[in-house]
A and B are shown apart, each in its own frame.
Chain A
Amino acid sequence: MEQIKEYFKIALRNLRTRSLRSWLTILGIVIGVFLIISLLSLSEGIKQTITQQLRALGGEVIFVMPGEISNPIAMFMSGARLEREDIEGIEKVHGVDTVLTMSYQSLLVRHKDEGKTVFTSGLSWEKGTEIMEKFQGWSLKKGEWPIPGKREAVIGSQVENNVFEKKVALGDEIIIKGRRFEVVGILNSLGSKQDDTSIYLDLPFYQDLTGEKRGTAQMAMVKIKKGVSLDETAKKIKESLEKTRKRRMGSDAADFSVITSEKMGDIAGDILAVIQLAIIGFASIAIIVGGIGIMNTMFTSVRERTREIGIMKAIGAKDKAILTIFLFEAGIIGLMGGIGGTVLGLTLAKIIEIYGQAHPAFYFTATVSPGLVVFGLSFSFLVGCLSGFIPARQAAKLKPVEALRRYE
């Protein structure tokens, strides 16, 4: 133990003597660890945000959406619609309590002589308010819910201040395609930028504005009766949709995804896992490059210090002593790089978190787990030791007389 302490001191001294080279080598590791720590804490943060949002959805709702869920672009571009027969079919499925249909589109909205294209959703206030409050986590920051059948609108939390130049207040009038609507309610943030910058209208008015056929919709949320299996009902809805489609169009292609919020979470989790894996892959490459840097530095060091190694062996150093000293040097480089990279990575994560809190438009959080820090530090130390091992062994195996003779 006593000896180990001395070897550690010698290793530190050696690194300090070659400080520029040591720092440059450390920098190589810093970059790699910084990448791993910052990217992983960000992706962990995103994962938590998404999980939180999905939790807000509640567990007892089934979504019927156009297209394949695994392909989000197709989902919104497919233009597939739920026809009246589809919706009626869903309503008839055993266990279904309420079917809330929704449509959405970007529309030109005027507010006090200012026109902006705003994402506008139509949903039935009659059935919708309860479902949205209970399962989507909607709540009003100001005002009240619209009365069905009246030209009243609810706006997302950011529409109040951030969309139009002038603040949109309760009682203000907004004009969409020449029709006037009164703003009667402002929502609390729903946790996504798109939802928070939307305007919500009663479905019949929305359909009048857009020319969408009454009774149809782009998607639906299904609330089930108490005591009914969610998955079972989802399956039945899917079957009902397929049957209706087949009868009407002779095709049984599933252009709709019927999913539960739980399943949605799984899918998001899967996607994030792939992203995290990719991040680890890329950052590992950076670390490997850093490790090669350590190896290079250590080989140079062994060459330069061949004579010193010879001296140490002549005055009684065993192979193990030399090996330990060189391993310490490489390990210290790795660990220092790990500490630097972790500190930088955590700083970035913290900055993003603070920024995210100050700017509600920026839905980005970073989560730093202690496990990640421990992983960063031990991984970099390990990389250091591994890359230092071959050079250190080369040093330890030098014959004293040859080491002394060289570079004389």
Chain B
Amino acid sequence: MDSVIKLENVWKVYQLGKVELTALKGVSLDIHRGDFVTIMGPSGSGKSTLLNMIGCLDSPTKGKVFLKERDISRLSEDQLSQLRGKTIGFVFQEFNLMPNLTALENVTLPMVFQGVSEPERIKRGQELLSSLGLKERVRHQPAELSGGERQRVAIARAFANNPEVVIADEPTGNLDSHSGKKIMEVLKEFHQKEGKTIVVVTHDPNIAGYSEKIFNIKDGEMVQNHLQTQKYVWNK
């Protein structure tokens, strides 16, 4: 199977004044095309740092990160931005939509950065929003949307450039269980229908239940990886 994101013995050390904080201690993992992966761990375990590495938002202190078999440490900041915009979509816990832009403009923004033409952008944006049940909401600003709607806009944005990987950081963390379930169903659908690689970071076992592979992280180290066998708790 193709490796989409691969971490090799990744260390991340933060310098907090005089104190050194080691967030990741030699983590290695391999995410393949079409995987639905969950990264689990308590807060402070280093899972956000790990997510930043996987998402190529940060560079490791030591070790190597490969995005589609390219060593990202060899890329310039701009090349990395370009590659990230094309290959990876992000869904954040706080939605992180641009408050001044409408739903449609938020969804089309990643395409602006990739130089997609305006008619194409609008077509793709409207398709995505419609498929997520937000057809009536395209002209609304984030403040006029509910939490679940905002997160769906964020998901539409994440898929705008048709990326190979979508990384979701606690995507349901700020939502009620009903909305949360809906968001996970949407991610699952993208995974199953379009074969997208999905990486979810969570501490919620309900969310983890959707994935096929779970990485557990504790104190900056991988403690166990296993394949998911149990059924979704929500579905019971």
A104 CB, nearest partner CB in chain B, Å: 70
- Chain A, Cβ-Cβ closest to B81: A318
Whether B115 pairs with A2 at a CB distance below 8 angstroms is yes
Bound Cα distance A258, B101 (Å) = 73
Whether B86 pairs with A314 at a CB distance below 8 angstroms is no
Whether B57 pairs with A315 at a CB distance below 8 angstroms is no
Q: A10-B101, A315-B85 are in contact. Are A401 and B58 (CB under 8 A)?
A: yes
B47 at the interface (CB under 8 A from A): no
- Chain A, Cβ-Cβ closest to B83: A316
Chain B residues positioned under 8 Å from A10 (CB to CB): 100-101
Q: A315-B113, A316-B161 are in contact. Are A17 and B84 (CB under 8 A)?
A: no
A203-223: CB near B (< 8 Å → 1, else 0) gives 000000000000000000000
A72 CB, nearest partner CB in chain B, Å: 60
A308 at the interface (CB under 8 A from B): yes
A6 CB, nearest partner CB in chain B, Å: 5
Cross-interface CB contact of B110 among A3, A307, A308, A315, cutoff 8 Å = A315
Number of A-B contacts (CB under 8 A): 71
Bound Cα distance A44, B59 (Å) = 61
Q: Which residues of B, 48-91, contact A by the 8 Å Cβ criterion?
A: 52, 55, 57-58, 77-78, 81-82, 84-86, 89-90
* Chain A interface, DSSP helix/strand/loop, else mixed: helix
Whether B96 pairs with A401 at a CB distance below 8 angstroms is no
B15 at the interface (CB under 8 A from A): no
Cross-interface CB contact of A316 among B52, B77, B96, B114, cutoff 8 Å = B114
Chain A residues positioned under 8 Å from B58 (CB to CB): 399-401
A319 at the interface (CB under 8 A from B): yes
Q: Which residues of A, 273-317, contact B by the 8 Å Cβ criterion?
A: 307-308, 311-317
Which size bracket describes the interface of B in this complex?
20 to 34
Q: A6-B112, A400-B57, A404-B57 are in contact. Are A320 and B117 (CB under 8 A)?
A: no
Which size bracket describes the interface of A in this complex?
20 to 34
Question: In the complex, which of the residues B57, B78, B109 has the most CB atoms of chain A within 10 Å of its own CB atom?
Answer: B57
Chain A residues positioned under 8 Å from B101 (CB to CB): 10, 13
Whether B100 pairs with A319 at a CB distance below 8 angstroms is no
Q: Which residues of B, 88-124, contact A by the 8 Å Cβ criterion?
A: 89-90, 92, 94, 96-101, 109-110, 112-115, 117-118
Chain A residues positioned under 8 Å from B97 (CB to CB): 311
Whether B100 pairs with A316 at a CB distance below 8 angstroms is no
Cross-interface CB contact of A318 among B52, B78, B99, cutoff 8 Å = B78
A321 at the interface (CB under 8 A from B): yes
Q: A316-B161, A318-B113, A319-B77 are in contact. Are A14 and B100 (CB under 8 A)?
A: yes
Q: Which residues of B, 118-162, contact A by the 8 Å Cβ criterion?
A: 118, 157, 161
B145 CB, nearest partner CB in chain A, Å: 16
Bound Cα distance A400, B85 (Å) = 12
Chain B residues positioned under 8 Å from A315 (CB to CB): 84-85, 89-90, 109-110, 113, 157
Chain B residues positioned under 8 Å from A311 (CB to CB): 92, 96-98
Whether A2 pairs with B117 at a CB distance below 8 angstroms is yes
Bound Cα distance A49, B49 (Å) = 73
B184 CB, nearest partner CB in chain A, Å: 21
Whether A307 pairs with B100 at a CB distance below 8 angstroms is no
Chain B residues positioned under 8 Å from A404 (CB to CB): 57, 92, 96
Chain B residues positioned under 8 Å from A400 (CB to CB): 57-58, 81
Chain A residues positioned under 8 Å from B110 (CB to CB): 315-316
Whether A316 pairs with B98 at a CB distance below 8 angstroms is no
A6-23: CB near B (< 8 Å → 1, else 0) gives 100010011011000000
Q: Which residues of A, 73-131, contact B by the 8 Å Cβ criterion?
A: none
B144 CB, nearest partner CB in chain A, Å: 14
Whether B82 pairs with A318 at a CB distance below 8 angstroms is yes
Chain A residues positioned under 8 Å from B78 (CB to CB): 318-320
Whether A313 pairs with B81 at a CB distance below 8 angstroms is yes
B90 CB, nearest partner CB in chain A, Å: 5
- Chain B, Cβ-Cβ closest to A321: B113
Q: A3-B115, A318-B81, A319-B77 are in contact. Are A401 and B57 (CB under 8 A)?
A: yes
B53 CB, nearest partner CB in chain A, Å: 9
Bound Cα distance A17, B2 (Å) = 45
* Sampled A-B contacts (22; CB under 8 Å): A3-B112, A3-B115, A14-B100, A307-B96, A308-B99, A311-B97, A312-B98, A312-B109, A314-B84, A315-B85, A315-B90, A315-B109, A316-B85, A317-B113, A318-B81, A319-B78, A319-B81, A320-B78, A399-B58, A404-B57, A404-B92, A408-B94
Which residues of B are at the interface with A, using a C-beta cutoff of 8 A?
Answer: 52, 55, 57-58, 77-78, 81-82, 84-86, 89-90, 92, 94, 96-101, 109-110, 112-115, 117-118, 157, 161
Given contacts A315-B113, A316-B81, 12 further A-B contacts (CB under 8 A): A13-B100, A311-B98, A314-B84, A315-B85, A315-B89, A315-B157, A316-B110, A316-B114, A317-B113, A319-B78, A319-B81, A408-B94
